[in-house]
Structure 1
Amino acid sequence: MNVDDPRVQRTRARLRAAILDLSADHDLADITMSAVAKRAEINRATVYQHYPDLDSLVTDAMEDAMVRIVQAAGLCPFDAPRDVVPPPLAELFEHVAAQAPLYARMLDAHGSARLAVGLRERLTTELTRRFAEGNRPSGHGDVPVELHAAYLAGALCGVVAHWITAPRPRPAHETALAFWRLFRD
């Protein structure tokens, strides 16, 4: 299959939209490939030609969100004041809050493990790159760069998942500020 073919791109776009649409109302565990096919108005066999399983489709559908999260973490200036959330981080938490049902379903205990692991790995890679370039919070020179990056990547993923799946999530700005204080120290 040629992924550059416009027909393939259109089909994949329909499938990504269908899974995101279904995820807004249903737990991932309750969504079938048949339901995705029906929502996308595509034959079920066609779905499997593009994605071997639901997790692959979810991961692809959430690609833009993962890029946004990684970029926000990568843009945070570590020398910013402790009591001022850097704009990229504030925007990230506002974005997640605006899409709360989707993120909650994707990141809760029944969500996509592949998505969660992929996000954590990409964050770790981005932070390792930044830290290796010398753009690292001070006071951690005795900790290997990749371990520091993995620690902070796991922290961001964990905080976002905990926050967005809480019965009564705190406001986005409040959570972003609390995370920023932990992240930079």
Structure 2
Amino acid sequence: MDVRARRTRARLREAVLRLASERPVEDVAVADLVRTARINRTTFYKHAGSPAAVLERVLYADLDRVRSGWIDDTLEGRLSVQEVWERASHALVDHLERYDALYTAGLVGRRSAVLHRLLVDHFVESVRTLLARDPEMLPAGDGPIAWRTEAHARFVGHGEFGVVEAWLSLPAPRDRALFVSAITSMLPAWLAPGPPPRT
């Protein structure tokens, strides 16, 4: 990507974060975004199809780092499952706090279907990725493995989003430890069977 394209992407990033912190991204018009980013519509459409697409790109880049750390910690096996989830939950809280204004504007009161879908998709894909790398984690049960993987991933993904939504509904400043405790205490047994014996 050349310097001009990087500069345009940076402007779009700053503009969409600012506007989506004031109102749900669905209410951000392309005209508002191009005016705030100081670019024209033609340039905008070379980079994205909508303000929501710009926001998704920004947030997914950050969430992908959270996922990568969680999966690496899980598969390395150096930490207990509890410690892995605590680290991952702290990393997720870091993300939520980094973008607090836009998550508050978009999710408190369930106003943004885009943010809802984005977070659920991230959580579901994280579980899918983990199970693809370690299929032995998937509990036994009825139905084909592909279906059980999808069902378990969606169950965990929607549940984790519910904890995020409940935590965001609290008045600021929010208690990080409360979020981490809730996530780790609500995990299904197959994801948190308890710490391995210390050697």
Shared fold (TM-score, shorter chain, > 0.5): yes
Amino acid at match of 1:110: R
Considering only aligned residues, what root-mean-square deviation do their CA atoms show, in Å? 3.0
1:1-185 matches, cutoff 5 A: 4-71=1-68, 73-74=70-71, 77=74, 79-81=80-82, 86-108=86-108, 109-113=110-114, 115-132=115-132, 133-134=134-135, 136=137, 140-142=139-141, 144-164=148-168, 166-168=169-171, 170-185=174-189
Change (3 A) 1:81 1:53: closer
What displacement does 1:73 show? 4.8
Is the contact between residue 51 and residue 57 of structure 1 (CA under 8 Å) also seen in structure 2?
yes
Change (3 A) 1:24 1:121: closer
Is the contact between residue 15 and residue 36 of structure 1 (CA under 8 Å) also seen in structure 2?
yes
Alignment gaps of 5+ in structure 2: 143-147, 190-199
What displacement does 1:18 show? 0.8
Q: Which moved more, 1:57-66 or 1:11-20?
A: 57-66
Change (3 A) 1:129 1:58: closer
Is the contact between residue 19 and residue 57 of structure 1 (CA under 8 Å) also seen in structure 2?
yes
Is the contact between residue 123 and residue 153 of structure 1 (CA under 8 Å) also seen in structure 2?
yes
Is the contact between residue 72 and residue 92 of structure 1 (CA under 8 Å) also seen in structure 2?
no
What displacement does 1:38 show? 1.7
Is the contact between residue 96 and residue 103 of structure 1 (CA under 8 Å) also seen in structure 2?
yes
Is the contact between residue 72 and residue 89 of structure 1 (CA under 8 Å) also seen in structure 2?
no
State the aligned residue count.
177
What displacement does 1:157 show? 2.0
Change (3 A) 1:72 1:106: farther
2-side partners of 1:27 and 1:121: how far apart? 18
Amino acid at match of 2:140: G
2-side partners of 1:174 and 1:76: how far apart? 22
Partner SS, residue 44 of structure 2: helix
What displacement does 1:29 show? 4.1
2-side partners of 1:98 and 1:52: how far apart? 25
What displacement does 1:124 show? 2.2
What displacement does 1:130 show? 1.8
Is the contact between residue 76 and residue 86 of structure 1 (CA under 8 Å) also seen in structure 2?
no
What displacement does 1:30 show? 3.8
Runs of 4+ in 1 over 6 A off after TM superposition: none
What displacement does 1:40 show? 1.1
What displacement does 1:134 show? 4.2
TM-score (norm 2): 0.72
Identity of aligned pairs, percent? 22
